[in-house]
Amino acid sequence: MTTIRERYLPFVGGREVAHDSGDWFETLNPADRSPLAQVARGSEADVDAAVTDALGAFPAWRDERPAQRGRVLLAIAQALRSRSDEFARLETLDNGKPLTQSRFDVEVAARYFEYYGGLADKLHGETIPLSGDYLSYTRREPFGVTGHIVPWNAPINQTARGAAPALAAGNTAVVKPAEDTPLSALELAKLVAECGLPAGVFNVVPGLGEEAGAALVRHPRVSKLTFTGSRETGRAVMHGAADRLVPVTLELGGKSPNIVFPDADLDAAARSSFVGANLNAGQICA
């Protein structure tokens, strides 16, 4: 049985912390609109505290042996699988999707940590022969603190998709989950700490987009941003990133495109197109 706590706080520096504003918002069960829990309404000060902790944790995580970073991510994948039912039920209560889809999302989240855990020690640069005895070489380096603004339609899946590659490459992360579905990201933060991820490497600040999300976008020490959601909000995120000249990855407004070639099995294409467009109550872009 999944037990939902009465209140959830930001997870910063490897532990739950009191939030600056003292304000709360409710996350609701979509099935009957009943309150599930009160969640801390993160402020600009809360985001700043999380970024500061992530910045402090960055040098040691960056300098950790890539193979060891990978081992921690693989441990997270294993722990997620061992608690798959618990996370799936939490996701269903907070998000409203059927348990079958929530279980699939938890497995996909585990696969992200598993895949990038295996990739962590295989991120190489290039050695380029020049004229004579000269060689030019390149090396890949992490950005530093990365900010991730996560949508509500597949919360744990999308949190893992952004955080796992960032952590594998030696970055630290601050996640702002959707205010509609913040619980699985907050529980994931506890799990990754239990798996040996150093304090401050993975932080979660719940809150509203126009408050905590906007603060994350404009924070001067966040060096890379990711956002999945609407075109309107994506435009604001891109504008904020452009003002600070930091790279941003956006996934906006796509809706299950398909390319059907003349020699395709049209019945199979129609069936798969229908499933791809309507799975997850249509809130999907696969």
- Check: CB of residue 108 under 8 Å from CB of residue 160: yes
- Check: CB of residue 111 under 8 Å from CB of residue 77: yes
- Report domain extents, the chain: 7-123+137-253, 255-286
For the chain, give the mean pLDDT. Answer: 95
pLDDT in tens, 69-109: 999 999 999 999 999 999 999 999 999 999 999 999 999 99
| Pairing assessment for the beta strands 202-204 and 172-176 based on DSSP bridges | parallel
What Rg do the C-alpha atoms of the chain give, in angstroms? 20
Residue 21 pLDDT: 83
| Catalytic residue, candidates 44, 86, 107, 251 | 251
Residue 51 pLDDT: 98
Closest CA relative to residue 204, chosen from 7, 9, 2:
9
Residues 185 and 154: their CA atoms lie apart, in Å, by 11
pLDDT in tens, 191-233: 999 999 999 999 999 999 999 999 999 999 999 999 999 999 9
| Catalytic residue, candidates 44, 64, 107, 285 | 285
Report the run of H or E that residue 40 belongs to, with start and end.
Answer: strand 34-40
Average pLDDT estimate for 110-117: 98
Residues 45 and 65: their CA atoms lie apart, in Å, by 32
Bridge partner residues of 135 (DSSP): 129
Other Cβ atoms within 10 Å of 104 Cβ, number? 17
Q: Check whether 283 has a pLDDT greater than 90.
A: no
Residues 182 and 162: their CA atoms lie apart, in Å, by 15
Bridge partner residues of 229 (DSSP): 252
Q: Check whether 20 has a pLDDT greater than 70.
A: yes
Average pLDDT estimate for 252-259: 85
Whether pTM > 0.75 for this model: the answer is yes
Q: Check whether 1 has a pLDDT greater than 70.
A: no
**CA of residue 119 relative to chain centroid, distance:** 18
Instruction: Name the token pair of 139.
Output: 């090396």
Query: Does residue 285 have an active-site annotation?
Result: yes
Question: The domain 7-123+137-253 belongs to what CATH superfamily?
Answer: Aldehyde Dehydrogenase; Chain A, domain 1 (3.40.605.10)
Contacts of 258 by beta carbon, 8 Å cutoff, 6+ apart: 269, 272, 273, 276
Query: Does residue 195 have an active-site annotation?
Result: no
